[in-house]
């Protein structure tokens, strides 16, 4: 396991060994470095019949990002470095499992600290860039999760091209993943809450390609294809349309996933279609969103373990609402307090409900349901020496009708984040 001294030594070596001829060519001049301080408190208090009363931990994270510029010439070269270090502030054996800290498999205790170092080589030709090494895709078919102390990362290659006006193309090949609470890279697996798939099935290859096309000023179209070798394949279609209506703006979004098993289907049968629609109207500091999705097919929707599924229910705190045959709807209200003279202060209220859920008999069988209520308050300093210091408080109340032995249980969850990013240069 890497520690803070090893990360510091690697950073110094990275800077000291940069060739002089690169310094004059933009490799150093266009570089920049930041250090994020992330303080994270996670409290999930379970209700009802459960063998675990709570998942509750507190930790401090440090995320260092050093990004070089590109060398001059038709083909530019660069190198990025990312160092991440997590430190335990509070935990106990009966409260682990928040994914903030690694847990020792023998003692059951959270580790006092953990760290990792990632290097990414990059190449640029015209408006096309290739990244090889440590990557963290933020794409509809794979969102590398930033939802805990440290980020989820992957090993492989990622290509992005903007050479065609209005069109952004993406493609990539990944063969290993590093989870949010881990220092070790492992083969890629599928998310399997409530045993919906075989979560132990592993793959050495995740391939994807696709793109976003800005058809007009108001309309953006997207298509992506992804394949987790021998486990599942997925096609994604979407459109986003924005239009001024009255005093505000209406945003309409459609997301459609079609998923099947791939090759040997090592994780079991995969047969799912997820069609989602969202309508959002913004007027001044107010935004009201109504959305929902319908799942069909014989299974739940698949996605990479610990990543964030890009569904209409994205970033729900306690559930993803993508069980077999689930019918989901949500109402959300956002308010920006800048209108009241408090820039940087925002709040959000959201209610979500899923019905018609088809679970195995051991978990309750057909016609199950789940609900979640989220409240969020966020504030970021807008000026002064600590400009950018951000406080985020989120609370969720989750309930379902599943059997007591389901892995998703009723809970009351609170997350508190304090983030500050220091610009080194």
User: What is the pLDDT, as a whole number, of residue 22?
Assistant: 47
Among 4-18, 275-289, 357-371, 374-388, which is the least confidently predicted range? 4-18
Sequence spans of domains, the chain = 4-423
| Cα–Cα distance measured from residue 251 to residue 231, given in angstroms and rounded to the nearest whole number | 35
| pLDDT at residue number 49 | 75
Q: pLDDT value at position 4? A: 46
118 closest CA partner among 9, 10, 5: 10
| Secondary structure string (H, E, C) spanning 100-136 | CCCECCCCCCECCEEEEEEEEEEEEECCEEEEEEEEC
How do residues 105-143 score in pLDDT, each as one tens digit?
A: 899 999 999 999 999 999 999 999 999 999 999 999 999
Check residue 276 and give its pLDDT: 98
User: What are the pLDDT digits (tens) for 29-50?
Assistant: 999 999 999 999 999 999 987 7
pLDDT digit string, tens, across residues 199-236: 999 999 999 999 999 999 999 999 999 999 999 999 99
Q: What is the pLDDT of residues 52-70, one digit of tens each?
A: 899 999 999 999 999 999 9
Contact by Cβ (8 Å): 248, 281: yes
Helix, strand, or coil here: 193?
Answer: helix
pLDDT band per the 50, 70, 90 thresholds, residue 13? low
Band (pLDDT 50/70/90 cuts) for residue 26 is confident
Confidence of residue 5 (pLDDT cuts 50, 70, 90): low
117-153 core/surface letters (b: 16 or more CB in 10 A; e: else): bbebebbbeeeebbbbbbbbbebbbbbbbebbbbbbb
Report the chain's mean pLDDT, rounded to a whole number: 94
Residue range 4-423 forms a domain whose CATH class is mainly beta
Is the separation of the CB atoms in 213 and 221 below 8 Å?
yes
Confidence of residue 407 (pLDDT cuts 50, 70, 90): confident
* Mean pLDDT calculated for residue range 147-151: 96
Q: What is the pTM of this model?
A: 0.92
Provide the pLDDT confidence category of residue 248 given band limits of 50, 70 and 90: very high
- Residues 187, 255: Cα–Cα separation, whole Å: 28
CB 299 within 8 A of CB 272: yes
SS3 13: helix
pLDDT at 23 over 50: no
* Banded model confidence at residue 6, pLDDT cuts 50, 70, 90: low
Whether 98 shows a pLDDT value over 80: the answer reads yes
List C-alpha distances in Å: 374 to 82, 124, 195, 229.
32, 42, 26, 36
- pLDDT per residue as tens digits for the range 310-360: 999 998 999 999 999 999 999 999 999 999 999 999 999 999 999 999 999
pLDDT grade, residue 10 (50/70/90)? low
- The mean per-residue pLDDT over the stretch 185-202 comes to 96
Phi, psi at residue 94, to the nearest 5°? -85, 5
Q: What's the full length of the chain, in residues?
A: 425
- Asked whether residue 97 carries a pLDDT value surpassing 80, the answer given is yes
């Amino acid at each position: 396991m890497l520690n803070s001294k090893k990360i510091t030594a690697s950073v110094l070596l990275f800077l000291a060994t940069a060739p002089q001829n690169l310094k004059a060519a933009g490799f150093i001049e266009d570089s920049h470095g930041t250090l994020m301080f992330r303080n994270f408190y996670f409290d999930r208090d379970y209700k009802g019949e459960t063998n675990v009363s709570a998942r509750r931990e507190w930790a401090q994270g440090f995320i260092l990002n050093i990004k070089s510029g590109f060398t001059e010439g038709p083909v530019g070269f660069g190198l990025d470095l990312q160092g991440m270090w997590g430190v335990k502030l509070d935990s106990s054996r009966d409260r682990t499992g928040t994914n903030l800290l690694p847990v020792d498999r023998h003692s059951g205790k959270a580790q006092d600290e953990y760290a990792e170092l990632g290097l990414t080589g990059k190449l640029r030709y015209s408006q096309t860039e290739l990244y090889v090494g440590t990557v963290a895709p933020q794409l509809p078919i794979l969102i590398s999760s930033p939802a805990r102390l440290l980020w989820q990362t992957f090993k492989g290659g990622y290509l992005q091209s903007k050479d065609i006006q209005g069109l952004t193309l993406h493609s990539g090949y990944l063969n290993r993943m590093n989870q949010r609470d881990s220092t070790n890279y492992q083969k890629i697996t599928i998310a399997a809450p409530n045993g919906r798939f075989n979560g132990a099935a592993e793959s050495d290859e995740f391939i994807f390609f696709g793109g976003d096309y800005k058809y007009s000023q108001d309309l953006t179209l997207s298509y992506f294809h992804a394949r987790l070798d021998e486990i599942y394949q997925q096609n994604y279609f979407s459109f986003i349309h924005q239009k001024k209506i009255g005093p505000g703006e209406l945003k309409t979004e459609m997301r459609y996933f079609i998923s099947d098993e791939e090759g040997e289907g090592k994780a079991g049968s995969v047969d799912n279609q997820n069609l989602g629609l969202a309508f959002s109207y913004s007027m001044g500091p107010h935004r009201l969103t109504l959305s929902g999705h319908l799942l069909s097919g014989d299974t739940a929707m698949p996605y990479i373990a610990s990543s964030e599924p890009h569904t209409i229910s994205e970033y729900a705190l306690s559930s993803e609402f993508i069980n077999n045959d689930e019918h989901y709807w949500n109402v959300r209200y956002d308010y920006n307090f800048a209108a009241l003279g408090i820039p940087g202060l925002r709040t959000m209220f959201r209610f979500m409900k899923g019905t018609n859920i088809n679970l195995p008999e051991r978990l309750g069988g057909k016609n199950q349901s789940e609900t979640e209520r989220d409240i969020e308050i966020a504030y970021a300093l807008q000026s002064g020496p600590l400009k950018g210091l951000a406080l985020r408080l989120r609370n969720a109340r989750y309930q379902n009708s599943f059997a007591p032995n389901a892995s998703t249980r009723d809970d009351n969850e609170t997350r508190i984040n304090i983030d500050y990013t220091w610009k080194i240069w």
